Amino acid sequence: MNVEVNIKPVPFEIFGVDVGQSVVIAWGVLAVVIVLLALTNVYIRKRFSEKPKGLQMVLEMIIGGLENWAKGYVGESASFLAPMTLTLMVYVFSESIIELFGLPAVTGDINCALALGLTCFITVNVTGIKARGLGGRLAGLCHPKAFMLPIRLLTDLITPFSMAIRLFSNILVGTVIMEIIYNLVPILLPAAFSSFFTVFEIGIQVFVIGLLSLVYTSEAVE
Amino acid sequence: MSPLGLIALGAGIAVLCGAGAAIGMGIATGRASEAIARQPEAFGKINSSLLFGLILMETCAIYALLVSILLIFVLGAKV
């Protein structure tokens, strides 16, 4: 049994600059997603009616549901936090679902996971500083008692790395298990198992990254 | 003992951490079910708390699995 899994990022040279294979695949996936969204905007949005049905109903359900969900956590910052959360979730979903098409999942690259973790960290802190000011944000860290400041500071600083490793490990574990199953029984079992291991894991990770981004922001904004 | 055998043993011991995570998740889900049975109208808040707790517990188990995978694939390839 020969199982080959890429844990280190695979290099890829463009004009002498090493960008990494995952970045090139991510460009391709983002191009497809942006073209799909642009086509939806241009062609389908004109035919929106007062009573939604079909695709319009699905879109309204998703976007409205996410806005209500975000309002439950952050209140008034939901006007710009909900679109960011939805973008993050769509990004993680589309970059991981290409695993079903044979390409290596982009979120299985530690660089992508770290970038997403840092993005969430910056979002949480900028929202917190906008809502309460820099002093208020630091004062919120001393919330139960003043001597908790170093503990809570450490927890907050470790948050992006924790999110990154969570996402990276879950996708990597799915990849390893699917490789092993594919090596053992190449014919019918991988399709059946990948509906559980791959799709379910990706669904959970998408939900988790949205939920954690909202929860940490709600803690910062309070 | 051969280095490969020690690596395999270490990888196996690392995944035992999943037992603690599974026990913790079971206790949390049981308490949440009791709370919902006692007060069915608070289902939304209890569900949110439960999911948040489950996510954090699952992360610990996944860290353990990551250590095991790194032992087998990175260290095992060098030996």
Q: Give the tens place of pLDDT for each residue, A23-70.
A: 999 999 999 999 999 998 888 777 777 777 777 888 889 999 999 989
pLDDT at A31: 95
Q: Percentage of residues in chain A with pLDDT exceeding 70?
A: 100
pLDDT at A86: 93
Q: Percentage of residues in chain A with pLDDT exceeding 90?
A: 37
The pair of three-digit structure tokens given for residue A49, joined into one six-digit string: 């009616």
pLDDT at B25: 96
CA–CA gap between residue A88 and residue A117 (Å, rounded): 11
Q: What is the pTM of this model?
A: 0.89
- Which of B:42-61 have CB within 8 Å of A? 51-52, 55, 59
Across the strands, what pairs with A14?
Answer: A17
Contact B69 A7 (CB under 8 A): yes
Q: What is the mean pLDDT of residues A180-187?
A: 86
Among A64-78, B39-53, B60-74, the least confident range: A64-78
Q: Where are the beta strands (DSSP E) in A8-158?
A: 13-14, 17-18
The answer to whether residue B23 neighbours chain A at the CB level (below 8 Å) is no
Q: pLDDT category, A160, cuts 50, 70, 90?
A: very high
CA–CA gap between residue A131 and residue A31 (Å, rounded): 34
Element (H, E) at A34: helix A21-39
- Crossing angle of the two packed helices B43-70 and B17-38, in degrees rounded to 10: 170
pLDDT at A134: 84
CA atoms within 13 A on the CB side of A14: 6
Above 80 in pLDDT, residue A143?
no
Q: Residues of A199-210 as b/e, b for ≥16 C-beta within 10 angstroms?
A: eebbeebbebbb
CA–CA gap between residue A213 and residue A140 (Å, rounded): 18
pLDDT at A148: 82
CA–CA gap between residue A219 and residue B35 (Å, rounded): 24
Q: Give the tens place of pLDDT for each residue, A107-135.
A: 999 999 999 999 999 999 998 888 888 88
CA–CA gap between residue A18 and residue A166 (Å, rounded): 26
Q: What is the mean pLDDT of residues A164-181?
A: 91
> In chain B, helix, strand, coil percent, each to 5?
90, 0, 10
Residue from B15, B62, B70 to probe the interface with A (highest A Cβ count within 10 Å):
B62
Contact B69 A215 (CB under 8 A): no
Q: What is the mean pLDDT of residues A190-201?
A: 84
DSSP code of residue A18: E
Neighbours of A74 (CB within 10 A): 24
Count residue pairs from A and B with Cβ separation < 8 A: 30
